[in-house]
């Protein structure tokens, strides 16, 4: 490097390069350069770069390796998970899935079970007990509900190998009826339920419980919340980008639409169920209904708005602007409505997980915790 000739040694060169990087990334307070370093606003999106037509999010800004930990269960990486580092950003850009070619994996991998539960640091008997209990079957239809949890009535626990297992939790939901679940049912609950339980705790609405029961519930819910947040960050493109993951447990979307050259833009392909859309460069691509989680919020929002416009404004059994080659049918409308519902469900799941991230230190909130309500 030519710049090397201006420095006496490698240490001096490295220092100057680090200072230059900090300056470029706003980590130095220019008003008071000799004072405390400026803390960057990490809620802002990462910068884009690259030549015209090949713009990407620069890979050097990605540093979290949650997937590596989940696959190997390496205890040394336990303290380096993304929720213990910088807080997540928030992206609203369209077409982010096209800007991160380095994040996709060749084939989706199975996690180390201890790492998936976040208990790699536990001793063997305690770890095995936890895994066995959470592997027990759960009646999903009986315990899963979209009704808000209003309160926790009572808790029954028993201790094994130093862990207090929640064998019965009596909940009161929005219909004012009581429901019984146990810790093994956590895997069947809706993410909103963990949001409700965390909110009840931080707002002091569990203080009627015996102190030890309150502690046991909080420990179990916090551990599970942490685990599902880490897994979701490597299984959802948007959350993965926002948490700076170096690799996702996702294969690149099968978005090639060349087999449907005559299909109109923003109409639904019946088999495979997918929608034809236009990407950042106005190329035709396809988003399959089972790959919605591999697309960014900006892309999903744009497709949803286009579909919503067609559902509301297109006239049935007539030619419409943007679809001059055939008539808009009831099947078109129904399939578009179904696709809109899938997109809205994915966007809501992401909002819920952004809320859950804040309970485990992975995202900053700009409101008082006492004013938090469940995500709708």
8 vs 202, higher pLDDT = 202
Residue 29 is assigned to a structural domain of this protein: yes
Q: pLDDT tens digit string along 250-302?
A: 999 999 999 998 899 999 999 899 999 999 888 999 999 999 999 999 999 99
Say what the pTM is.
0.83
Residue 73 is assigned to a structural domain of this protein: no
Q: Residue range 166-188: average pLDDT?
A: 96
Task: Provide the pLDDT confidence category of residue 219 given band limits of 50, 70 and 90.
Answer: very high
Mean pLDDT of the chain, nearest integer: 84
Q: Residue range 162-188: average pLDDT?
A: 96
Backbone angles phi, psi at 208, to 5 degrees: -75, -15
Residue 24 is assigned to a structural domain of this protein: yes
Residue 214 is assigned to a structural domain of this protein: no
Per-residue pLDDT, 51: 52
Q: Residue range 209-230: average pLDDT?
A: 96
Residue 207 is assigned to a structural domain of this protein: no
244 vs 87, higher pLDDT = 244
Domain span at residue 13? Answer: 1-40
Task: Give the whole-angstrom CA distance, residue 276 versus residue 257.
Answer: 7
Per-residue pLDDT, 36: 45
Q: pLDDT tens digit string along 109-141?
A: 999 999 999 999 899 999 999 999 999 999 999
Task: Give the whole-angstrom CA distance, residue 234 versus residue 111.
Answer: 11
67 vs 49, higher pLDDT = 67
Q: Residue range 292-313: average pLDDT?
A: 95
Backbone angles phi, psi at 279, to 5 degrees: -85, -170
The number of domains in the chain is 1
DSSP 246-298: S--S-PPP--B-TT-TTSPTT-EETTTTEEEEE-TTS-EEEEEGGGGGGS-HH
- Contact between residue 154 and residue 148 where contact means Cβ atoms under 8 Å apart: no
Helix (H) or strand (E) holding 156: strand 149-160
Beta strand 48-49 with 284-288: parallel, antiparallel or unpaired?
A: unpaired
Task: Provide the pLDDT confidence category of residue 216 given band limits of 50, 70 and 90.
Answer: very high
Task: Give the whole-angstrom CA distance, residue 54 versus residue 278.
Answer: 17
Residue 310 has pLDDT above 70, yes or no: yes
Residue 16 is assigned to a structural domain of this protein: yes
Task: Provide the pLDDT confidence category of residue 73 given band limits of 50, 70 and 90.
Answer: confident
Residue 291 is assigned to a structural domain of this protein: no
DSSP 159-221: EETTEEEEEEEEEEETTS-EEEE-GGGGGGS-HHHHHHHHHHHHTTTTTTS-HHHHHHHHHHH
Q: Residue range 4-10: average pLDDT?
A: 42
Per-residue pLDDT, 227: 95
Per-residue pLDDT, 211: 95
Task: Give the whole-angstrom CA distance, residue 290 versus residue 299.
Answer: 15
Residue 263 is assigned to a structural domain of this protein: no
Exposed (0-12), middle (13-18) or buried (19+): which is 140, by Cβ within 10 Å?
exposed
């Amino acid at each position: 490097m030519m710049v090397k000739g201006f420095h006496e040694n490698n240490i001096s060169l490295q220092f100057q390069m680090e200072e230059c990087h900090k300056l470029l990334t706003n980590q130095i307070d220019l008003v008071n350069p000799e004072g405390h370093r400026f803390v960057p606003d990490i809620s802002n999106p990462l910068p884009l770069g690259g030549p015209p037509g090949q713009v990407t999010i620069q890979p050097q800004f990605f540093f979290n390796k949650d997937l590596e930990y989940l696959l190997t269960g390496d205890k040394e990486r336990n303290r380096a998970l993304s929720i213990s580092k910088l807080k997540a950003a928030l992206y609203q850009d369209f077409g982010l899935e096209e800007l991160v070619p380095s994040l996709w994996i060749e084939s989706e991998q199975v996690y180390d079970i201890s790492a998936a539960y976040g208990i790699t640091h536990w001793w063997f008997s305690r770890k095995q007990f936890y895994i066995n209990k959470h592997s027990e079957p759960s009646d999903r239809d009986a315990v899963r509900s979209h009704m808000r949890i209003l309160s926790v009535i009572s808790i029954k626990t028993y201790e094994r190998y130093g862990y207090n297992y929640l064998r019965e939790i009596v909940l009161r939901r929005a219909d004012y009826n009581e429901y019984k679940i146990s810790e093994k049912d956590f895997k069947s609950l809706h993410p909103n339920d963990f949001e409700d339980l965390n909110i009840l705790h931080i707002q002091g609405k569990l203080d009627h419980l015996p102190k030890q029961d309150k502690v046991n519930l909080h420990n179990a819910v916090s551990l599970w919340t942490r685990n599902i947040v880490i897994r979701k960050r490597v299984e959802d493109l948007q959350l993965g980008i926002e948490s700076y993951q170096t690799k996702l447990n996702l294969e690149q979307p099968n978005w090639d639409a060349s087999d449907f050259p005559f299909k109109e833009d923003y109409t639904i392909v019946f088999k495979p169920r997918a929608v034809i859309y236009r990407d950042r460069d106005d190329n035709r691509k396809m988003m399959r209904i089972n790959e919605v989680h591999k697309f960014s919020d900006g892309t999903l929002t744009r497709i949803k708005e286009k579909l919503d416009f067609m559902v509301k404004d297109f006239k049935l059994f007539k030619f419409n602007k943007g679809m001059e080659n055939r008539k808009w049918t009831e099947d078109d409308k129904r399939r578009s409505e179904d696709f809109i519902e899938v997109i809205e469900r994915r966007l809501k799941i992401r909002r819920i997980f952004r809320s859950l991230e804040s309970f485990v230190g992975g995202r900053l909130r700009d409101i008082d915790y006492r004013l938090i309500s469940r995500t709708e």
